[in-house]
A and B are shown apart, each in its own frame.
Chain A
């Protein structure tokens, strides 16, 4: 008796189990499980936790209680938070546009047959290889209020007569950190676009040349449309990296002078980790999500439209 009962059950469940596992949909789910687990544990869970924290008054080392949208209401009236939103948007838009322009220009140049091509391509990558913190410290010296090499050179040349206060006044400081970000980000854009350029079939250019197209026509009607998917990817990444930048700002200005260069990421760190208000810091991070999502949406649904890719105008 004792043996028989589980035996009967086993027959029933085994057949159900087998049938279940022969179902293609179920099998598919099984195969997706490792990837799903990976995504849930390492992406969805931290993201969800961050959003949950933003609804609590958690402090470092203490769980905190649910307080609804209190953190967000407070941030809504916080001038420093809005300043950081403004700074982040300014930083992202200006740096991304310039990075794209310079990157595309460099990619077009490097796509030509020039001497020492491989060597020059390697050099272009350098700023991207140097650890960000190191380059940030180098820029911190370059923009130092007393020991700036730029100020020194301009004074020696007789162009100015006192040091430029690069990081001490709001607009100078913003320009300086944006410059550093551009310097660092251009290689990524340039090299990726260069890779894209090499996938454009040479025959299209030959045909266009026979038809008497000018250089600009070729760029406008062949290169640019065929490059659009790559541009969409590159610029999405570039915008995401720039929007969430932390190291450059933290090493160069720590958000100063008087919060003029605080980005949302650095303000979040200052409030959450240094100030101990995890909930409020998490709320600042959570507030970044809509901006990031809209950047992604714009790239994927906008730039990837088939008509754009075929060089036609939007209708």
Chain B
């Protein structure tokens, strides 16, 4: 019924090259062809439960569910997908790990797996297989994927990019053809935009996504880090003070109110034309496109964050990691699902569905049509390659996650920027909090 030969595979790739999603029949065809030759064979009668975070973009979830559906039909493994609010995933995963029952697979944040590495199925063979098939893993994926040793305890199946969103017309009016890629130039642009009455604005409130993303860039761009390679707190430094001073200078030229912004505030302000530059995933652009706000979608574009004193990118993008639990009765089915999700062409199809909101961790997907079909999405392709991991120089895992959840860097920069404390005091207070989290 579904005879997949080289010719129809090529046909499928052409359809993808145009950025169109695979039809369910095509997808099932590929799934069956894959199943005939899969590396990890599911146990007979296997059933899986997968818990994931609630989608941010409908087309991404549609594509993901279509992918899972094709897997079920091709392998006979029934997969139930449940979704929960993002913040609830980690507590649920912890409980599942401790009581030894719950979903077979949980798709959460990069840090979750590092809370209970010994409760998870060793995925090294899956990771090695996929890495060899698809051009190798990006370094950040490897850092997040491996536990303390060399074994993979989870696989970051995608990253969520966060870059500068800007209005072409507004920065041009301020005298800039593109967003300057150095710190001084960026500050100059911010001043010029303010002078024109079209200020910038990025979240300085407790915005776990956008706030953490740009503030860590700002800190790291000044070569200041919360911890060193051995997780020793090294925040109290002249570099960190400089980062505070820089952010204060930026903040002074911004639209008022950014200290109260959460993850949604900048989207609203940008779409309403209130700010000229902010930081975000692809969702602002996507919303402008789907709601026909052509004055915004045609006028906006995305840019990398400026490169700081080290000369290397110092960006922070989120990694979304999938893990499988040892208590699962069907470990091979879990591995098969990993293999299927991250294989061509279905992973390609999912990337197309997620419209650049999600980025691949395997180099072999650089040619996915979503990255070139619309040049405004292209830079999100590189976020997984450019990102540092959540701990900066230090380890990933619960301490890095706790530091992010407690908004140590956000609050430090915000209290210096709003003038509640001097930059020096802000750094000292943040150091104290960091030392607590990284104690012993």
Contacts and interface: CB of A to CB of B under 8 A. Distances in A.
Interface of A: 59-62, 74, 77-80, 144-147, 162-163, 165-170, 173, 253-259, 270-271, 273-277
B257 A270 contact: no
A55 B274 CA distance: 49
A274 B269 CA distance: 27
B406 A271 contact: yes
Contacts of B116: 61-62
Interface stretch (B1-9, B258-266, B317-325, B351-359): B258-266
A147 B405 CA distance: 28
A61 B98 contact: yes
Contact of A258 (B255, B272, B411): B411
Interface string B337-376: 0000000000000000000000000000000000000000
Nearest to A257: B259
B429 interface: yes
A262 to B, nearest CB: 9
B258 A168 contact: yes
Interface in B393-431: 398, 401-402, 405-406, 411, 414-415, 418, 420, 429
Contacts of B420: 170, 258
Contacts of A270: 405-406
Contacts of B255: 145-146
Interface stretch (B62-70, B87-95, B176-184, B227-235): B87-95
A165 B116 CA distance: 43
Contacts of B256: 145, 162-163, 165, 168
Main SS of the interface on chain B? helix
Nearest to A262: B206
Interface residues of B, number: 42
Contact of A275 (B95, B405, B411, B432): B405
B267 to A, nearest CB: 11
Interface in B128-159: none
B115 interface: yes
A74 B436 contact: yes
A277 B405 CA distance: 10
Contact of A257 (B94, B208, B260): B260
B259 A168 contact: yes
A51 B415 CA distance: 32
A37 B101 CA distance: 28
B204 interface: yes
Contacts of A256: 205-206, 259-260, 414
Given A147-B268, A275-B402, A276-B405, A258 B259 contact: yes
B97 interface: yes
A55 to B, nearest CB: 17
B405 A165 contact: no
22 contacts: A74-B436, A144-B265, A145-B261, A146-B265, A146-B268, A146-B272, A165-B256, A165-B257, A165-B260, A167-B205, A168-B257, A168-B260, A253-B206, A254-B262, A255-B206, A256-B206, A257-B259, A258-B415, A258-B420, A270-B406, A274-B208, A276-B402
Given A254-B262, A258-B418, 4 more contacts: A147-B268, A169-B418, A170-B420, A256-B206
B90 A258 contact: no
A276 B414 CA distance: 23
A258 B272 CA distance: 26
Nearest to B93: A61
A61 B429 contact: no
Contacts of B98: 61-62
A170 B432 CA distance: 22
B257 A167 contact: yes
The residue in A145, A162, A167 that gathers the most chain B C-beta atoms within 10 A of its C-beta is A145
B270 to A, nearest CB: 10
B418 A61 contact: no
Given A59-B115, A74-B436, A168-B260, A276 B398 contact: yes
A74 B401 CA distance: 20
A165 B274 CA distance: 15
A46 B401 CA distance: 27
Q: List 9 tightest A-B contacts by C-beta distance, closest first.
A: A145-B257, A61-B94, A167-B260, A257-B259, A254-B206, A274-B405, A168-B260, A256-B205, A275-B405
Contacts of A271: 406
A64 to B, nearest CB: 12
Contacts of A59: 115, 398
Nearest to A61: B94
